[in-house]
Structure 1
Amino acid sequence: MAARINKKRSFLFVSKVLGKHIPVNPYTPLLSGAALALLLYREMNGEAAYDSMMDRLLDQAVQGMIHPEYAEAAYHDLLEARLVLPERVLFIGFAETATALGHSMYNMFAAGASYIHTTREDIPQLASVVSFEEEHSHAVDHLCYALNAELLSGEEPIVLVDDEITTGNTAINTIRDIQSKFPRKEYVVASLLDWRSDSNIQAYRNLEQELGIRIRALSLLQGTIEVTGTPQLNLVESGSHTSAATEAPVIITYVQDGLERLNVTSADSLGEINASPYLRQSGRFGVESQDNRQLDQGIAQVASQLRALREGATALVLGVGEFMYLPMRIAAEMGEGVKYQSSTRSPIHPDRRPDYGVHSAAAYPSAGDPGISNYIYNVDPGRYDDIFVLLERDVPRRRIEPMTDILKRLAGNKVHLVILAPDTEEGGLAG
């Protein structure tokens, strides 16, 4: 655990399998979503359909999460199982932490699935089909931009995916909003951790009675918690980020991925517009099973190019905020010695105690919105030869420099700022 700098919630579970606050083997967070997919498969097909092969796959997934040396083989075995649910299912991942978790859970199913993640990006040209608040968060507004109007309008079950459930209020708020616009009979709430109290669990039952629906909860670990003490409200940066004697060069590379783009703009809290297009298949705008092959091809194409840029034995691949799943998948295909994690907007107090989850922290204004602080945790100088930062879309150079100024004091060799692009581009990151 770690102290969260938030008046609404003073603690944070620092996951070793999520790929957010701690660098991990990239197959580990992919397996965490896969394990949830297996639990859903058992829940929807019944125990009779959950044979010895499925028991073996779940055991492999768990062993792969615990022992990273088995993670890659376990992940590919699960993909090769080609699981299909008995009916169509829509998966919704919660921004920002569970965007990759939801995508990796959805991706385990070979057909009949669709996925979208919520976002806090303001895209003026699009209307959010559902909106809700995450009450304990420092960033409460969740938006959902579904390009396909049919994505939420059916009667299929919706699976809400989050990294942890503490009170269950976020899921309740989401279900209320969806049910008021796109009513259906069944919801599933899937999470790595479920810490709901008896009264929180009863709140689900009460909502079922009120709305005439069924809510099922799935998790890898369930229990109860009690936290006491005074919240830590001031971020104290670790001094390790300024101790490097030399600074690594920053190399800017535009990498062709062959994927589709969506020509819409974003607006930040300062009123500035970014006209750079978004990735169509990131998950923010909705994807379906038939999109997976093209996405797999794009990921392999990028990973091949980045593998060729590696010069050292160790590398760190960084996703940025909500943009987690594609960098995670790309990192998994970049060879040995690669770890993955993402920057985050969650402010956490660092401490060097061995039993504490966040040992170092660096804060900087977000490239997407300088009015929002982002953080990089648990990366010490010289730990990785090469650091690759993957951006979904172009941003002005002046906006990314606060992040790269930190990273060039952490990388042992080079910092690669990688901008995904539909075609080879030159002269970006201007301004």
Structure 2
Amino acid sequence: MLTLAADTRSIVLPTGQIDITVDEAAWPLDALCDFAARENPKRGFLVVSRVLGRHLPVSPQVMRRSVRDLAARIPADLPGPVLVLGLAETAVCLGQTVHEELRLQTGRKDIHFLHSTRQQLGDQPLDTALLCRFEEPHSHASAHLIYRSALPAPRSLVIVDDEISTGTTTCNLAHALVAACPSVEGIVVAVLTDWSVGRGWQERMPRPTKVAALLSGRLEWTQGETIAATAAFDMAAASLGRLATHSNFGRLGLEASVAPLPLTPLPPLTGPLRIVGTGEFTYLPFRLAERMEAEGHDVVVQATSRSPARVGAAMKTKLSFSDNYGTGVPNYLYNADPADGRTTWIAHETGADTIDPGLVAALGASVIGWNA
């Protein structure tokens, strides 16, 4: 695969400065990501992916091509069973699509999927339902839950995230998961961008670890403006949602990919389309977008987020609204311009009455659900 020349840049944001050096890249930096300031006292910047379908609208074919290239960099002969684990909320769709691509590329049936979550499921006590939990220290929502599943004990673990900077979250996850699954022999960390070169975090991992990435290099952050924690930030860091009723789209483990159509009938469509996933519910909206694109429609995908970023740099517009998972934490949708002429479908797993009417009105959207 093509390796591009080194690239060194400095990005000045209202909250500080990012200095980056790209060492190797299968995709150009500008094709993979941009940057923005974040309203977060723990970390004042955000790496904004151009291929993830979260903060920036992306065509499904670009998303698929990036994941296909990333999956091709993961060794095909990992000892099985293999567990692909996607990190919520950002990498649920990415992780599940990596899982799908690995099965397609290798022909193997022993590659399974699970994703972390910030949702409590039903009324079962967490201490009996969870396989493990871990912390993402720099995040706006630090707690991650991983539920027990009926999947076989893995020998190989593939951890999928959009990017890695210090490796702390990855180490926290790996130690928690290996303690719960001592059968794990080796780990692959698969990310779109790896900014951790030279930090040595692999030495702290509980099992031998390799990294698969479309771009690798170094990122140094110099804090500028001091950001004070707000009540909303403190709430987000501590809050977990609750799904009283739910379908298993990955939180309880999947052997093979599932892509059911929504229970809500699709609205009639003329002209270009925007499909918006909500929170952790992003893979099935992406698969619907691929289906619509295959039928000849002009489609982009993006998703709501709990990450509080500032307008500016990669963030051109920002909508704020209530969380459809019922945490009371503000949610955001970036770079969805109501004036761009796109029809908007907001996709959910939580019930149509959980979607903030203000968001629906701002985009003139229709709401489609996999939980009616």
TM over 0.5: yes
Separation in 2 of the partners of 1:44 and 1:103?
17
The question of 1:365 aligning with 2:322 is answered yes
| Displacement of 1:90 | 0.5
Instruction: Give structure 1 stretches of 5+ with no counterpart.
Output: 46-84, 236-268, 426-431
Q: 1:337 to 1:203 in 2, by over 3 A?
A: closer
Name the structure 1 match of 2:346: 389
Deviation at 1:367, TM superposition (A): 1.7
Aligned pairs (5 A) from 1:13-412: 13-40=47-74, 43-45=75-77, 87-108=80-101, 109-110=103-104, 111-123=109-121, 124-125=123-124, 127-148=129-150, 150-151=151-152, 153-154=153-154, 156-183=155-182, 184-198=184-198, 200=199, 202-205=200-203, 207=204, 211=206, 213-231=207-225, 233=227, 275=244, 277-280=245-248, 282-289=249-256, 292=257, 295-296=258-259, 298-299=260-261, 305-306=265-266, 309-335=267-293, 336-351=297-312, 356-394=313-351, 397=353, 399-401=354-356, 404-411=357-364
Answer whether contact 2:135 2:144 (CA < 8 A) is retained.
yes
Partner residue in 2 for 1:71: none
Cα pair distance change 1:419/1:203, threshold 3 Å: closer
Separation in 2, partners of 1:408, 1:348: 22
Alignment RMSD: 2.5
Q: CA deviation at 1:371?
A: 1.7
Aligned to 2:12: none
- Distance in 1, Cα, partners of 2:177 & 2:359: 41
Cα-to-partner distance string for 1:258-312 (whole Å, 9 max, x where unaligned): xxxxxxxxxxx8999753x2122x11211003xx3xx24x24x779x52xx2333
Deviates more, 1:167-176 or 1:310-319: 310-319
Q: 3-state SS of the aligned residue for 2:73?
A: helix
Q: For residues 359 and 370 of structure 1, do their structure 2 counterparts lie closer, same or farther at Cα, with a shift above 3 Å needed?
A: same
The answer to whether structure 1 residue 416 and structure 2 residue 336 are counterparts is no
Note if contact 1:100-1:324 (Cα within 8 Å) is conserved in structure 2.
yes
Q: Is the 8 A contact 1:321 1:343 kept in 2?
A: yes
**How many Å apart are 1:147 and its aligned residue?**
3.0
Measure how far apart 1:93 and its partner are. Answer: 0.4
Residues 1:8 and 2:22 are matched in the alignment = no
Kindly report structure 1 stretches of 4+ aligned residues shifted beyond 6 Å: 269-273
1:203-235 CA deviation, whole Å, 9 max, x = no partner? 312x25xx4x31111111001122224247489
| Cα 1:129/1:274, change in 2 over 3 Å | closer
Match of 2:28 in 1: none
Which amino acid letter does the alignment assign opposite residue 419 of structure 1? G
Counterpart-to-counterpart distance in 2, 1:216 and 1:273:
35
> CA 1:29/1:273 → structure 2, altered by over 3 Å: closer, same or farther?
closer
CA distance in 2, matches of 1:366, 1:220: 32
Residues in 1 aligned to 2:271 and 2:58: alpha-carbon distance in whole angstroms = 16
Q: 1:187 to 1:234 in 2, by over 3 A?
A: same
Give, in angstroms, the shift of residue 344 of structure 1: 0.4
The aligned counterpart of 2:233 is none
Report SS of the residue matched to 1:226. Answer: strand
Contact residue 5 and residue 231 of structure 1 kept, 8 A: no
What is the DSSP-based 3-state SS (H/G/I as helix, E as strand, rest coil) of the residue aligned with 1:191? strand
Q: How many residues align?
A: 317
CA distance in 1, matches of 2:156, 2:289: 32
2:23 equivalent in structure 1? none
SS at match of 1:176: helix
CA separation in 2, counterparts of 1:166 and 1:367?
30
Structure 2 vs 1, CA of residues 364 and 232 (structure 1 numbering), >3 Å: closer, same or farther?
farther
Alpha-carbon distance between aligned partners in 2 of 1:89 and 1:227, rounded to the nearest angstrom: 35
- Give the equivalent residue in structure 2 for 1:54: none
Pick the structure with greater CA Rg. 1
Higher normalized helix content (fraction of residues): 1
Q: Distance in 2 between matches of 1:367 and 1:23?
A: 20
**Per-residue CA distance 1:134-174 (angstroms, 9 max, x = gap):** 011011110011331x44x34x1000000000001111011
Residue 420 of structure 1 and its aligned partner are, at CA, apart by 1.6
Following superposition, the deviation at residue 386 of structure 1 comes to 1.6
